[in-house]
Amino acid sequence: MDVVFLSRLQFAMATMFHFIFVPLTLGLSMLVAIMETIYVKTGDETYKRMAKFWGKLFLINFALGVVTGITLEFQFGTNWSKYSEYVGDIFGSLLAIEATAAFFLESTFIAVWVFGWDKLSPKMHLLSIWLVAVASNLSAIWILIANAFMQHPVGYVMRNGRAELANFWDVVFHKFAWLEILHTITGAYILAGFFVLGVSSYHLLRSNKVDFFKKSFRIAATFALIFSLVEVVEGHFHGSEIAETQPTKLAAMESLWETGSNVPMHLLVVPDEDNEKNSLEAIPIPGLLSFLAYHNPSATVKGLKDFPKEERPPVALTFYSFRIMVGLAFLFLLLSFLAWKNKANPLQSKGLLKALIWAIPLPYIANEAGWIVAEVGRQPWIVYGLMKTSDAVSPVSSGQVWFSFALLTILYTFLGAVDIYLLAKFARKGPEA
């Protein structure tokens, strides 16, 4: 394996592993803040115990997420030094803001929240968890803005062979960035909603702390349904933006080989990348792909054959990841609607409670699949249209990358096992743990 492939493999492994922790941190911080808000507003002690219980799971997840995130930023210097040199003026400034403004705020007020239950007034304590939730999400926003620059670079000038920042506000407020932010954060909220629904269902089926977990279930069902709806609608607009800015990615997402107008969407497709065609296409819906991409059923959609082979992303991986993500998004909408419909008395539908326990891993799969679509679908570019991934790698040997890859894999496997063990242990014990 060459250095480029190994470096990509290492970064993909590290990012996908880190992304196991991030969505739950983002969503659970919001849910805990909502639970504590209800406690402060109503004085109902159940919601205080609820904030403490779900907050403990949030803290376990947050701690392990921080550890796995630190190594990612190091890799820009160790494995991707050419990339850092090329866009460091832009990328570095965004990550610096994330670290100094958002991460430190989040870390500081987590300590205030953990140790301040008996030392602060209820309102001041509530403020601390909202600051944690806002800072967690701000942290994600700055990182996603940096990633959005790689997807659709704006606000820069080329000078001395480097991309330098020309307009900070263009980078921060461009449309692609905010569609990506909304898409990712909404996915995180769905994951957290299903996590709370699944754990609550587990206890409800065992008649353990029924009132406590009924209330948790009710909050999570509403939360998951709202963001499942938002995700489906927003996902459509995000896809349209990709059609405009990254047509090769759209073509790979749909395994579309030939350019045409009034392009149908086939519900059943099997890509045959080697022969530049689909070995199976069935159940076409006329004009649907043209409509979804450009809001016009007669619009022309470019196929992969209109792009040089060396500028096409891997088709099969992008295509199947996209279908998994979209299919799961509609499943979340259905399950969250059923949960919301039964929220007053969830025990009347034990089949749904069992399904929600099994559904806990599904939003993780959807989020990882979405990340694959975003990152693999952008290849061969590390910065779309500006810099190829093969030109971004550090001048290091494959042996060095093999060593760090093996080391990180062992470390992350250990951390993943610790996270699953601790989350499962305290989730099973319930609020009295």
**pLDDT value, residue 14:** 85
Q: Fill in the DSSP letter of residue 307.
A: S
pTM > 0.85: yes or no: yes
Any alpha helices (H) in 79-174, and if so which ranges?
81-97, 104-115, 122-151, 168-173
3-state secondary structure 223-271: HHHHHHHHHHHHHHHHHHHHHHHCHHHHHHHHCCCCCEECCCEEEEEEE
Supply the pLDDT for residue 433.
61
Residues in Cβ contact with 20 at an 8 Å cutoff, skipping those fewer than 6 apart: 364, 368, 416, 419
pLDDT recorded at residue 65: 79
Asked whether 54 and 196 are in contact (CB, 8 A), the reply is yes
What are the distances in angstroms from CA 394 to CA 9, 15, 83, 216, 382?
14, 18, 8, 48, 14
**How far is 291 from 397, CA to CA, in rounded Å?**
48
Query: What are φ and ψ of residue 157, in 5° steps?
Result: -130, 150
Nearest-angstrom CA–CA distance, 334 and 183:
19
C-alpha–C-alpha distance, residues 90 and 332, integer Å: 36
Those residues of the chain that have pLDDT short of 70 are 433
Q: Long-range CB contacts (< 8 A, 24+ apart) of 199-206? A: 199/57, 199/360, 199/427, 200/346, 201/346, 201/352, 201/353, 201/354, 201/356, 201/357, 202/357, 202/427, 202/428, 203/430, 204/346, 204/347, 204/353, 205/350, 205/353, 205/354, 205/357
3-state secondary structure of 155: coil
Residue 161 has a pLDDT of: 84
**Pairing mode, strands 162-165 and 156-159:** antiparallel
CA 357 to chain centre: 21
Q: How far apart are CA 70 and CA 115, in angstroms?
A: 25
Which residues lie closer than 8 Å to 330 by C-beta, 6 or more apart? 232
Question: How confident is the model over 313-329, as pLDDT tens digits?
Answer: 999 999 999 999 999 99
DSSP letters spanning 188-220: HHHHHHHHHHHHHHHHHHTTSSHHHHHHHHHHH
- Residues paired with 284 in a beta bridge: 266
The pLDDT, as a whole number, for residue 2 is 83
Token pair listed for 87: 């866009």
The answer to whether 383 and 86 are in contact (CB under 8 A) is yes
